[in-house]
Structure 1
């Protein structure tokens, strides 16, 4: 006999478990940031092994938390007397010969006949060397804290000529953080260390923490409670009696011609395509994290942790243990790209409606827009690829919850969205995907609440919303995260939401930030968004599409653009988070401008004109790529052209399209042919957005491929990556030649002196001093309106902030070999290196220079060219 009460009993049990486990999981997650951690402490002590020997110990944080130094006065004897005339430094934290050493570090040094303690170019205390070596002087002490530094010659007193005679000879400086920069401990003394000599620096290791046993247990239990709560939620969802729907769509594994084309493009681009600008420092951070104990950002923020945005980099750190080769470390990015396309083609497009699913133009436009976004923006190690994928997966999970009227998919969507949110600062774009889940969640919960109540359904959702806290605070505390965030905001850059215009200003600059590829991707997604919104507002929905999913994908895109305003930096590579949404919107826009949806030929001609205008605006820039990826690329420093500029030809075509639209409006038959009369290829060719995006994809792939072939067999990104497959792992290092002495190997003039050879007899407008005194690079972002003060401060700087190679210009007191007083870079010898320039104050004039002939080296060969 079957007991009909068994299912009801199971549901009551599941309801109780969902409430208890969900609330407990959420409570443990909220408590995790406030649980204790174990901190690894470190100190730098010197001398070591009882020997006076300099040691290198550069601190990532530059300064120590606390510094205590004690030096016996007798140690100064090593600086006294004619035999020690070349020894001046008793102890310092920077090498005395380093540029600006006195401005940055601590030096206890002999100056004339005095022993001086100077920190950051500020004298603290001084005493005659004769008194220091007297029996009255016991030791010299120095202590440094964030609020003040003090130093004292213990045993000595101030002289009668001072304001307070007879007082201990000591000095103090406060009102500023005078702690010296530490790159090691250095001394001019040699031999065994005298008794009493001590240098002790407490290293700032506040972020080198690991979870205690209590915190580890709480996190494990919390994750288990969340899993149990979600399992109970699944049982409650199944109470509706509906049969379980398959998780993956039918024939999801089948490969179509378009899939094969997208895969080939992505795989080829993985080898020859340009990387992103931050790949180098992200990889270094990931590899160093194992030794640092946490993901430290020491490139910009003095070793503060990347958390709460570091979990993606932690995965990269594990991946790089196998190999640090570019092809290998970027392999997850390639897999994410392929997954993104599979999600777009298998999940997104079918959910947008039958017309989108069956329209070939929609699929080709989706593929083209996805690639046009992904190729220039997401081929590196930055977190934008995983964010783009996370936004899509969040939306798909929400749509599954709506389709099945179940809460569990929405809870899973919240977990994916939260992970996406904390993948990087640009993960804030995932807010849109989370917000669109609120409406469906409210509707689904309301349909089940009469049977199970709100708490049983919302407690697991709450646990799902907070489970990422375990990941974020697994080895850090709430206080540490607040300190790190406050410090990052203080150091900057930390731009406000109303500075978002800076991102778009950079997009329209003729630099790699505003290159043809980047500009086209962003402008096309804005165009697709505008068309989709206009059609939705005019007709309630895009004809032939599913209203709910279409509106939600449009809403996610709009919210994501608004959310991007709150990122602290404003770079165009952040637009990479829209790669998945671009493909989805492209499919919608392609359907919106078909003859079935947009029946007016005039309007379709105007849309074609808009696409051509976007292309013209995009080609009004350089075909530039970041750093070494730019080597050999055609038009990398100019607007693309062939007889005429591409932008000129495209704007002309846009005008022609507008004239056609005018003809249809005034004279033509402004109606479309009957639906279904076009062939498949015809429908694709009538989609201007598909044609434009694929033309740009071909342009990008061919550009980087030509960049590789033109430099072959020289080094290029593509050659390096292809060579890695054959076991050549050193990349650029195999091709870089380092010149140890730039003054060796200069060419010898033929029939002229070195002073006269550079300026030959036909020289006009060039002179030895025709060089501006200031050659520093112009700042990209100045201290104008909308710019943070940190940008302005760092842009001004002092001489020490300029290029250490000497390329910032300047003049010298003495004249060089040809009378020039220009300061030469790279330690070039003015007595052997002539220099000439055509710069003059006021209006610049055309100039001509033709040097005398120079002899080639005797060992020169054709291979040297």
Structure 2
């Protein structure tokens, strides 16, 4: 009886072990097969076929001659074919058709530079001329075109040549080839015309045989075939199976599974609430990034284009391989396009970044970092110092910053548990981060630090399972993101798009990285107080952490491995950033998570426990003060409309004295204190013993500096909102969106639909004589230079692309709405021949100027009185915007100018609205004299 009862007891462990070994053998086979097949499916995805959507633009529509707008994102068609019956030109001859000149064109004839960019088949001096990109192709006298011999005019355009022929007509005796068909051809250059539509001066029914057919360049409008779809699905499933098998192999060590998120994760501390509150408030009042407008437009256009097309720089080429984040944004924007809504994922990413820093990064850096209030406050301050000025928009830097942290945390979990699955997940997250945007290359550092731990963990398991079973799932994880990148594109199309982007530019080399740092020291939003402080402080924290690690092997009180990996990721990220094709300071936003993590290390490195020398701590305080002084030696500028109302937006911050001067003086005092400690012999170690928590915080200069800058930024943008109110501001617009007012700036923009209809009329004086009716000394109708273009400025390297870079390489003049000047053949209402900007009608707008060739002289002008339009008694008093320059009383008139020492830059100015005095109901309408030049 006893033997029978004890038999099963002694055999049960053997059976359990046999079952586990069988499970591991099966998992080993699955890991190898699924991992290799999953990787093969992913690698094959870019090579599999896709279905291309083709489109044609055909005209006329419904047999009616009517102009249509059809702008192409690619500007030109793949090919163009036009057939026009010769008799259609009859609509261009005769006195009744004197104003009709265009038979067919691809651009409106009145558009600026229409003849330089488009195709026009038009009447010129009794000839019918075919001209494309200001190059004549073929022409014939209208008398012959309307004769019995001419059947039709044909025109074809391809990338290598364009041809035009009058079918039925021959060359005359004085032509190059008498008797040959009247035909013209142009090649050696891409003469294909820009197409923004099909336009004609004719009307009525379309004659038989009239045809315009353009093949739209839709090479990137592709969808996956059934084969490619099945391969992609199978690749994702096999990768998931391989990772599941890898998890089974991980459990062979018999260790108990650890919780993914410990209970402390959900414990909210006061610092967490403060950081979240700052992020939420900044989400509404803070400044956006410079690229938000065109990124949102790209996302909205993608729904109809079929792919994420970058129309802004690269003529509609796809954003892939960096477009998957924008695709998510496109889905998000379908709900609403208000700023507060489309940027909501950015806010969530900011909160998640801080959660990872405070709950995953800081505890892994060691007990001293975990328990140090100075470390936590410095981490929060430095994280916010990066996030607020750099990551409050739609650019991919926020998700890259989050991805770098997630990758590092996954690597550290794998190291701590000796498991390969977290490392494989880290590789997936790192690859997704890499393909979030060009600056995602910073994620390479987070992947490289996984190489060492991966080798160690594999070495522990290789004897039991072999290399292939362990590495095949990791290979599948490393390649699975290829499926996401090439889901609707091919390798050939991506190579073509990348080469096109490199050719167009900007595409700077790695050795041009200095341009990014040069911009950091310009007086512009790229080099503003906030951005300069964030980057310089990170470099200071990195320098201190590296110095302490090299001197002592590790920072006292920190975990050596995680601390070195954080420092290593930061250094590698700075190095690989050199290989991004553009060099803007907003790319530094990818360091937001790393900055907070490194700030915690630096705060511990300079505590009294780690750095016992009072001299050295004083020198560090001096370095922090010097960084602050250098940061405040610039403008408090923000991009575009976010700059409205911001204090010191175009000047160095100051109050009685410049902030930079005060901070520099404090830095000198800190250096003097360091010298006193060194020479007085008082550079002794501090006494042991605890201190009050608040005293430990205030003795961390990095924490104080970062939070002062965060307060400065938040207060600046909050004051911008309150000072601007009730006028428009970024903050007011975002807060009003919560109440249902979602039109943003559009509600506050006043549009003058007809600028000529709003001109004031003079009282008792003809329009042509009104400007000089009062005082006219030295002014004349043609006292204006023929060229009033803005002064040429040197374009900064990397800020332009090939398509808009002038031939003289670097110099450009900016002019909009016809402000470049010039003369016209017909005189205006007061005899002036000056070309007017903004669509002003010379027949209704008098012009006077005091310019003359040679030495300039003082001049004076006073206009006649102008009558204001009547207003309703229940309406607000009318508002009038006045722009004037020179000749005003300096004691009563503020003056602004755009001149600066050194290289001049293009500038623009528009005044505020001025309120007119109220008038009595029984009086005449008020009169106002306006002098402007």
Residue among 175, 183, 193 paired with 1:162: 175
Could you tell me which of 75, 81, 98 is aligned with 1:85? 98
Deviation at 1:782, TM superposition (A): 4.3
Map 1:188-227 onto structure 2 (within 5 A): 188-227=201-240
Select the residue among 557, 565, 584 that pairs with 2:570.
Answer: 557
Q: In the aligned structure 1, how far is the partner of 2:833 from the partner of 2:202?
A: 39
Residue 676 of structure 1 and its aligned partner are, at CA, apart by 3.4
CA displacement at 1:790 relative to structure 2: 2.9
1:374 is matched with which residue? Answer: 387
Rounded to whole Å, the distance in 2 between the matches of 1:358 and 1:789 is 51
2:839 paired residue number: 827
Kept after mapping to 2: 8 A contact 1:249/1:347: no
Q: Aligned residue for 2:479?
A: 466
Change in Cα spacing, 1:53 to 1:845, as seen in structure 2 (3 Å) is: closer
Distance of 1:780 and 1:406 partners within structure 2: 56
> In terms of Rg, which structure is larger?
2
Aligned to 1:295: 308
Counterpart in the other structure of 1:724: 737
Q: In structure 1, what is the equivalent of residue 511 of structure 2?
A: 498
Deviations 1:179-235 (A, max 9, x none): 011111111222221221111100000100111111000000000000000000000
Match of residue 795, structure 2, among 754, 767, 781: 781
Mapping 1:57-96, distance limit 5 Å: 57-96=70-109
Q: Deviations over 1:662-718 (max 9, x none)?
A: 111111511232233321101110111100100000000000000000111111110
Equivalent residue for 1:318, pick from 313, 331, 334:
331
The aligned counterpart of 1:574 is: 587
Q: CA deviation at 1:819?
A: 9.6
Please state if 1:183 is matched with 2:183: no
Distance, in Å, in 1 between the alignment partners of 2:851 and 2:655 is: 31
Q: 1:853 to 1:631 in 2, by over 3 A?
A: farther
Hey, what's the Cα distance between the residues in 1 that align with 2:487 and 2:23?
Answer: 35
Match of 1:793? 805
Contact 2:795 2:812 in 1 (8 A): no
Q: 2:343 aligns with which of 317, 322, 330?
A: 330
CA distances 1:704-754 after superposition (whole Å, capped 9, x unpaired): 000000111111110011001111111111111011233454567899974
Deviation at 1:82, TM superposition (A): 2.6
Could you tell me which residue of structure 2 aligns to residue 360 of structure 1?
Answer: 373
Query: For the Cα contact (< 8 Å) 1:779–1:795, is it kept in 2?
Result: no
Match of 1:663 in 2: 676
Question: Where does residue 278 of structure 1 map in the other structure?
Answer: 291
Structure 1 residues 640 and 826, CA, compared in 2 at 3 Å: closer, same or farther? same
Deviations 1:476-518 (A, max 9, x none): 0111101110111111111111111111111100001111111
TM-score by length of 1: 0.94
In structure 1, which of residues 35, 38, 43 is the aligned counterpart of residue 51 of structure 2?
38
Say whether the 8 Å CA contact 1:770–1:840 is kept in structure 2: no
Give runs of aligned pairs for residues 95-244 of structure 1, distance below 5 A: 95-244=108-257
1:346 aligned to which of 326, 341, 359: 359
Greater alpha carbon shift after TM alignment, 774-783 vs 389-398: 774-783
* Cα distance, 1:854 vs structure 2: 7.7
**8 Å contact from structure 1 (residues 495, 787) kept in 2:** no
- d(CA) in 2 for partners of 1:371 and 1:496? 31
Q: Residue in 1 aligned with 2:39?
A: 26
Query: How many angstroms apart in 2 are the aligned matches of 1:313 and 1:576?
Result: 17
**d(CA) in 2 for partners of 1:792, 1:100:** 15
| Counterpart Cα distance in 1 of 2:853 and 2:527 | 32
Which residue does the alignment assign to 2:817? 805
CA separation of 1:225/1:628 partners in 2, compared to 1, >3 Å: closer, same or farther? same
Q: Distance in 2 between matches of 1:819 and 1:672?
A: 87
Which of 39, 50, 53 is matched with 2:66 structurally? 53
**What SS is found at the alignment partner of 2:155?**
strand
Q: CA deviation at 1:163?
A: 2.5
Q: Deviations over 1:634-657 (max 9, x none)?
A: 111111111111111111111111
1:364 and 1:196, CA in 2 relative to 1: closer, same or farther beyond 3 A? same
Q: Against the structure 1 CA distance between its residues 379 and 136, is the aligned structure 2 distance closer, same or farther, given a 3 Å change threshold?
A: same
Quickly say closer, same or farther: Cα 1:850–1:702, change in 2 above 3 A. Answer: farther
**1:826 positional shift:** 1.7
Asked whether 1:510 is paired with 2:523, we answer yes
Q: Is residue 285–residue 717 contact of structure 2 (8 Å, CA) maintained in 1?
A: yes
- The answer to whether 1:635 aligns with 2:635 is no
Is the CA contact (8 Å cut-off) linking 1:398 and 1:437 kept in structure 2? yes
CA distance change for structure 1 residues 91 and 633 in 2, over 3 Å: closer, same or farther?
same
CA distance in 2, matches of 1:506, 1:364: 29
Question: Structure 2: how far apart are the matches of 1:118 and 1:77?
Answer: 19
Residues in 1 aligned to 2:224 and 2:105: alpha-carbon distance in whole angstroms: 37
Alpha carbons of structure 1 residues 855 and 583: separation in structure 2 relative to 1, 3 Å: farther
1:814-838, Cα deviation, whole Å (9 max, x unpaired): 8989998865432345674556689
1:436 and 1:772 map into 2 onto residues whose CA distance is 63
- d(CA) in 1 for partners of 2:807 and 2:597? 41
Match of 1:755?
771
- Cα displacement string for residues 100-151 of structure 1 (whole angstroms, at most 9, x for unaligned residues): 1111111111112211111111111111111112221111111100000011
Q: Which residue of 438, 444, 453 maps to 1:425?
A: 438
For residues 774 and 473 of structure 2, the distance between their equivalents in structure 1, rounded to whole angstroms, comes to 79
Helix, strand or coil at the partner of 2:169: strand
Looking at structure 2, the residues matched to 772 and 612 of structure 1 have their Cα atoms a distance apart, in angstroms, of: 53
Bigger CA drift: 1-10 or 646-655?
Answer: 1-10
CA 1:39 to 1:706, structure 2 compared with 1: closer, same or farther past 3 Å? same
Mapped to 1, the partners of 2:714 and 2:141 lie a distance apart of: 72
Compared CA separation, residues 743 and 193, structure 1 to 2 (3 A): closer
**In 2: Cα distance, 1:659 partner to 1:644 partner:** 22
Could you say if the C-alpha distance between residues 813 and 86 of structure 1 is closer, same or farther in structure 2, counting changes exceeding 3 Å?
closer
Distance 1:116 1:858 in 2: 52
Q: Distance in 2 between matches of 1:502 and 1:778?
A: 21
Calculate the TM-score normalised by the size of structure 2. Answer: 0.88
Matches within 5 A, 1:740-751: 740-746=753-759
Q: Kindly tell me: are residues 138 and 441 of structure 1, through their superposed partners in 2, closer, same or farther at Cα, counting changes over 3 Å?
A: same
Change beyond 3 A, Cα 1:862–1:87? closer
Contact 2:385 2:710 in 1 (8 A): yes
Return 798-807 or 668-677, whichever deviates more: 798-807
Which residue does the alignment assign to 1:622?
635
For 2:74 and 2:382, locate their aligned partners in 1 and report how far apart those are by CA, in whole Å. 44
The CA RMSD over aligned residues, in Å, is: 2.9
The 3 A distance-change label for structure 1 pair 737 and 363 is: same
Q: 1:593 to 1:130 in 2, by over 3 A?
A: same
Runs of 5+ consecutive residues of structure 1 not aligned to the other structure: none
Q: Structure 1 residues 46 and 20, CA, compared in 2 at 3 Å: closer, same or farther?
A: same
Query: What is the CA deviation profile of residues 499-540 of structure 1, one whole-angstrom value per residue up to 9, with x for unaligned ones?
Result: 111111111000011111111111100110011111111111
Task: Give the structure 2 partner of residue 265 of structure 1.
Answer: 278
Q: 1:657 to 1:434 in 2, by over 3 A?
A: same
Q: How does 1:538-617 map to 2 (within 5 A)?
A: 538-617=551-630
CA contact (8 A) 2:771 2:848 kept: no
Bigger Cα displacement from structure 2, 653-662 vs 741-750 = 741-750
Distance 1:696 1:837, change over 3 A: farther
> What's the secondary structure of 1:125's corresponding residue?
strand
